[in-house]
Amino acid sequence: MFHWLEKHPFFFAVGVFLTIAFAGLVEVLPNFAQASQPTIGTKPYTTLQLAGRHVYIKNSCNACHSQLIRPFKAETDRYGHYSLSGEYAYDRPFLWGSKRTGPDLHRVGAYRTTDWHENHMWDPAAVVPGSIMPAYRWMFKNPANIDTAYAEQLTVKKVFNVPYNKEIPTKDGGTTMVKLADSLDGAKADALAEAKRIAADMKDQDVKDMVANGQIPEIVALIAYLNGLK
């Protein structure tokens, strides 16, 4: 066998490749499979949160804001616990970002609230003196795209088996569930119900009126997403 391999360099090369590739798989795959499992407490996005995530991507928030807290004391003091890979299990695509013109947002939901986001997105410099972030006032008028968010939810549930309507363990030892409606109308109704809870904490009368009329402005979806980042 070895004499034969030595006389056939092509198959020898194939054998070398297979040996090294196997060693690589043994090294990489088990750890990868373990690390990519959702961490306890990580939940799939609701319809409204996902619509907000689309707003986040559409406006290229990730160009200035990262979502990756590195394990350094200076970072964890400011942003909270360092990021774990399993926390991105339902992020498609992940929004780690590679540049921090603004601060990291991976746990912004833990230390900012709806009313702060509302003030900040309307006029960032009014809340953060010297901020160079632009205002995003059109988000207070443009309707969020719930249809696409629901389509994505259906897709990831079917293709990646994302646990919608299933019990998910939480950090306190209990379980929770993220609902996915059976129909688009149901999803819209769920998103509107969630939007109403957020709009109740907001002050902008136009936003409140839109939500009361059954429309969801982008800002509400975005705040739902940001509040969910913990």
Residues in contact with another protein by the rule CB under 8 A: 6, 71-73, 76-78, 80, 82, 110-116, 119, 126-129, 201
Q: How far is the CB of 128 from another protein (least distance, A)?
A: 6
Nearest to 114 by CA among 215, 214, 211: 211
Q: How far is the CB of 225 from another protein (least distance, A)?
A: 16
Q: How far is the CB of 56 from another protein (least distance, A)?
A: 20
Backbone φ and ψ for 175, nearest 5 degrees, come out as -135, 160
Nearest to 93 by CA among 154, 181, 152, 32: 152
**Is residue 191 within 8 Å of 49, Cβ to Cβ?**
no
Q: Measured from the CB atom, is 73 or 158 closer to another protein?
A: 73
Q: How far is the CB of 60 from another protein (least distance, A)?
A: 22
Q: Measured from the CB atom, is 15 or 163 closer to another protein?
A: 15
Nearest to 41 by CA among 221, 178, 155: 178
Q: Left, alpha or beta for 203 (phi > 0: left; psi -120 to 50: alpha)?
A: alpha
Q: Measured from the CB atom, is 75 or 186 closer to another protein?
A: 75
Per DSSP, 102 falls in state S
Q: Measured from the CB atom, is 127 or 168 closer to another protein?
A: 127
Question: CA 153 to CA 139: how far, in whole Å?
Answer: 22
DSSP string, 75-109: HHHHH-SPP-GGGGTT-SS----S--SS---TTGG
Q: Measured from the CB atom, is 91 or 115 closer to another protein?
A: 115
Q: How far is the CB of 80 from another protein (least distance, A)?
A: 6
